[in-house]
Structure 1
């Protein structure tokens, strides 16, 4: 299930990179929370996070097309399509064992709320993000 979303019936969403080489689907509530982060990478790429539990995401194609990029603590595994360069999802530092799906790569998301996260001050802000996603 989608982390931090309102409890309601589940829907299967499909997402992909720009060229379609990487395709995936995930189960989440009909309304989801989207987290906007201001860290350097999210700010520069316009990435919008939808956190999904690991078991609820399935690759349909292209997992082997993903190229990894790690920086800073090298904990988060940022995954870009090796063909078109889009980052459709990644393994976040903030939610070990989960996926962060790029809301911009998923059609038909019904956003319940937008949560701001001060990724420029990650260590000081992560507790607040977790609390926001619990409510």
Structure 2
């Protein structure tokens, strides 16, 4: 298993910035109507492994479908670099968009898990 490290992420304009500590071992994409259009590559991590550095005041909330995920995007550039929610046991988690990490290794889309969000 890869070793966890701290990555730095941001929206396109840089107003929203964060740090996320993860090992990037469970990358996934999703075929729901929203993720499919956005091209997200997701990595889930416990909320305590995420720190929003700047941009709380720039975040705009969007809910859809089950309303269970806080989709947060930058009000300036429109990029959703992370989302907040809970796992099946009620623990807080953050889903980061790996495409928004400044220092992540290249991702082979053929080697990641595929989540069938369209069936929810």
Give the TM-score, by structure 2 length.
0.86
- Structure 1 match to 2:10: 16
Return closer, same or farther for 1:94/1:44 CA change in 2, 3 Å cut-off.
farther
CA distance in 1, matches of 2:5, 2:52: 16
CA distance in 1, matches of 2:28, 2:86: 14
Query: 1:62 Cα shift?
Result: 0.5
Contact 1:32 1:109 in 2 (8 A): no
**Number of matched pairs:** 115
Give the TM-score, by structure 1 length.
0.77
- Structure 1 match to 2:119: 121
Give the aligned CA root-mean-square deviation in angstroms.
1.9
Contact 1:77 1:92 in 2 (8 A): yes
Query: 1:21 Cα shift?
Result: 0.1
Query: 1:93 Cα shift?
Result: 5.8
- Structure 2 match to 1:108: 103
Return closer, same or farther for 1:60/1:15 CA change in 2, 3 Å cut-off.
same
Structure 1 runs of 4+ with >6 Å offset: none
